[in-house]
Amino acid sequence: MKDYLVLRRACEKIYYAGGGDFWFEEGAIGNDNHILYKAYTLSIFSMCIVMTVLEILAVFAGDFPDDEHSDAVTFALSHTMVLAKMSSVVARKRVVRALCRDAARVCAAHEDPQLMATKARIIRMNVAAYFACVYGSCVFYIFEGLRKLYFDGTHFVTIVTYWPSFSDNSASATAFRIICTLVLNLMMLPMIAFDSLAVTFLIIIKYKFITLRQFFERLEGEFCDVASRESLEAATELFERRVKEGIGMHQELLRYGKMN
């Protein structure tokens, strides 16, 4: 699969998760300036921000037993980092679009279909494993909340927020805890989408250098073939053009790697 398609699909997942349009072809995936999409994105990130703020308040102002206070610290720190990471990527949308454009273009004419198929399979395996780890953890948090409810005689809880308090077992408190659990699972979608794009970039860089190495390895065979069919002069001219092309691709890959 061509890098163009791999990166476009990764950008589509970010768009559908509410992260915005990071594809370099304007309007090819969607319009993230549309009022409905802006409302969709704002609602997702607003819920995540409110939940994270309540987690931070639980750490500094909440009255919880040691286990829940420890959970509050863990979630407050990790979710703050997640929001900061996603905000940083959104703020650098132009840079990410440039990376997508360069990654789709560099070495595209010399990509080996078999090598590209291997690369696509490795990307799918890494993204699928990451998705399974993230949502597997969420499932275990839910199981732990149900265990506390049915076996410890307390209440269902996954993440710990400033409200409701530990002693509040009212229907509204239970409903809010369930809503926070849903928001937690919703927050993971854009996070996975952004991280998957980063993983995709790293794997693509690796295989572009492999493509470049194979390009140089084929030069000897091309030189000998042209020299035997035409002339040594024609083979020399071809060799010179190919070397210049390879050096150009190598320079672009080095620049692309520094941007990444």
Q: What is the mean pLDDT of residues 222-234?
A: 89
Rounded (10°) CA dihedral 27, 28, 30, 35: 10
Q: How confident is the model at residue 179 (pLDDT cuts 50, 70, 90)?
A: very high
Contact between 98 and 201 under an 8 Å Cβ cutoff? The reply is: no
Q: What is the pTM of this model?
A: 0.92
Q: What is the mean pLDDT of residues 60-83?
A: 94
What pLDDT digit, counting tens, does each position of 182-209 carry?
999 999 999 999 999 999 999 999 999 9
- Here the tokens at position 168 are 């509040």
- How far apart (Å, rounded) are the C-alpha atoms in residues 93 and 22? 6
Q: How confident is the model at residue 137 (pLDDT cuts 50, 70, 90)?
A: very high
**In the chain, where the domains are located:** 3-198
Q: What is the mean pLDDT of residues 61-76?
A: 93
Query: How does DSSP assign 189-249, residue by residue?
Result: HHHHHHHHHHHHHHHHHHHHHHHHHHHHHTHHHHHHHHHHHS-HHHHHHHHHHHHHHHHHH
152 or 200: whose pLDDT is higher? 200
The set of long-range contacts for 113-121, using a CB threshold of 8 Å and a minimum separation of 24, is 115/207, 115/210, 115/211, 115/214, 116/1, 116/2, 116/3, 116/207, 117/1, 118/207, 119/1, 119/6, 119/203, 119/204, 119/207, 120/1, 120/6
What is the reported pLDDT for 260?
65
Contact between 249 and 107 under an 8 Å Cβ cutoff? The reply is: yes
What pLDDT digit, counting tens, does each position of 109-118 carry?
998 999 999 9
Cis? peptide before 65, omega within 30° of 0: no
Highest mean pLDDT among 75-89, 154-168, 217-231: 75-89
Q: What is the mean pLDDT of residues 4-18?
A: 96
Helix (H) / strand (E) containing 79: helix 66-91
